[in-house]
């Protein structure tokens, strides 16, 4: 059998002072291909449903998002968190490649 490509999909969660993030990312042939981050509001306690706020999506070096923008909505913290998440993913990939 001749394996022509290796695709690895990982899921993760991250919580910051801004939101909860559900993360799914795909690595194809050891290169980051896609990152999808679903954003949920912080919950006041455990077992309380977290309202969905939107998502940030990165694929092939292109970034897109779906976030509600209201008069009082500030989106910059979500993008700061997304940058941190991307850095953690890349650091994890480097660590795994080093073995």
- Asked whether residue 33 is assigned to any structural domain, the reply reads yes
Q: Read off the pLDDT of residues 16-47 as tens digits, 9 standing for 90 and up.
A: 999 999 999 999 999 999 999 999 998 776 76
- Asked whether residue 1 is assigned to any structural domain, the reply reads no
pTM for the whole structure: 0.88
Among 27, 4, 37, 19, CA closest to 97: 27
Q: Read off the pLDDT of residues 47-76 as tens digits, 9 standing for 90 and up.
A: 677 789 999 999 999 999 999 888 777 899
- Asked whether residue 84 is assigned to any structural domain, the reply reads yes
- For residue 54, the enclosing domain spans 7-98
Domain count, the chain: 1
- Asked whether residue 50 is assigned to any structural domain, the reply reads yes
Dihedral of the alpha carbons of 59, 62, 52, 84, in degrees to the nearest 10: 90
């Amino acid at each position: 059998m001749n394996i022509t490509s290796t695709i690895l999909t990982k899921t993760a969660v991250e919580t910051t002072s801004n939101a909860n993030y559900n993360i799914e990312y795909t690595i194809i042939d050891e290169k980051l291909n896609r990152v999808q981050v679903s954003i949920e509001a912080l919950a006041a306690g455990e077992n309380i449903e977290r309202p969905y706020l939107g998502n940030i999506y990165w694929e092939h070096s292109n970034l897109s998002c779906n976030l509600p923008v209201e008069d009082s909505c500030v989106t910059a913290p979500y993008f700061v968190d997304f940058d941190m998440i991307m850095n953690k993913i890349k650091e994890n990939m480097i660590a795994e490649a080093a073995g």
